[in-house]
Amino acid sequence: MTEVVRLNAVSKVYGKGQSAVAALREVSVGIPKGTFTAIMGPSGSGKSTFLQCAAGLDLPTAGSVQLGGTELTGMTETALTELRRQRVGFVFQAFNLVSSLTVIENITLPLRLAGVKADGAWLAEIVRRVGLDGRAGHRPAQLSGGQQQRVALARALVTRPEVVFGDEPTGALDTMTAREVLVLLREVVSTLGQTVVMVTHDPVAASYADTALFLADGRIVDSMSMPAAEKVAERMTRLGAWK
Ligand SMILES: Nc1ncnc2c1ncn2[C@@H]1O[C@H](COP(=O)(O)OP(=O)(O)OP(=O)(O)O)[C@@H](O)[C@H]1O
């Protein structure tokens, strides 16, 4: 199976000397194309650092990261910015929409930044899929939290990225709305073949993924396929996540 993301012996140390913190310790893992992966682990286990390194938002201290076969380590900041714009989609806990822009302008912003013309059919398809038909001219303030996150998801998909990274994408949503966004994420993986990697604290969110990877103290300590919420919760308890 093709791997969209590959980390080889990735370590990340923040700070120097006495205050140095090893956030990732020789992490090696591959994310297969067209799969949904949840990154779980106790607070401080390295989840956000994993995502930052895998997405080219930060560079590891040691080891190598490949995205779609491109080696990220050693790339210039300009090249990394370009790669993130064109080949990666992001969905964060805070929706990060531009309040002065309409829904459709927010969705197409990555294309404008990359100087690429929108593919009308694809745009219509993703707007329909995320359930924003009829809302194209609204501004973010006129939308619910769930609708705003749908705009963010459409914006993440618009460039047809090789991978979409989510950092607690449902963290700011109520249970029902979170579930709707998770169903959508599941759908884009199952029906569009999109690769999604999502950091989450929530075992229910992880249960929408194909695989859950568990981080503890900067290492991947376990992996679970078809992760049922109860099993994930049990594993997290054993990792001391909810002491
Ligand atoms: N910029 C930074 N400078 C110094 N230390 C950092 C920095 N970012 C993270 N760390 C440390 O690295 C370790 C891993 O942090 P990280 O944010 O990746 O964990 P996490 O699993 O995402 O945590 P949480 O679930 O609380 O968000 C922690 O000990 C954290 O304090």
Q: What is the DSSP string of 147-211?
A: HHHHHHHHHHHTT--SEEEEESTTTTS-HHHHHHHHHHHHHHHHHH---EEEE-S-HHHHTTSSE
Query: What's residue 1's pLDDT?
Result: 78
- Taking the centre of ligand 1 as the mean of its atom positions, its distance from the CA of residue 7, in whole angstroms, is 18
Q: Which helix (H) or strand (E) holds 235?
A: helix 229-238
Ligand 1 in contact with 45 (CB < 6 A)? yes
pLDDT band for 40, please (50, 70, 90 cuts).
very high
Nearest alpha-carbon partner for 89 in 145, 172, 171, 5:
5
Domain limits of the chain?
Answer: 3-238
ipTM associated with this complex: 0.97
Residue nearest to atom 3 of ligand 1 (CA): 14
Query: What's residue 243's pLDDT?
Result: 59
H-type helices in 15-159, by residue range?
47-54, 77-87, 103-114, 120-129, 145-157
Instruction: Quote the mean pLDDT of the chain.
Output: 94
The fold for domain 3-238 equals Rossmann fold (3.40.50)
> 18 — phi, psi (to 5°)?
-60, -35
Candidates 18, 45, 53, 197: which one to mutate for ligand 1, based on the most atoms within 8 Å of Cβ?
Answer: 45
* pLDDT tens track for 188-201: 999 999 999 999 99
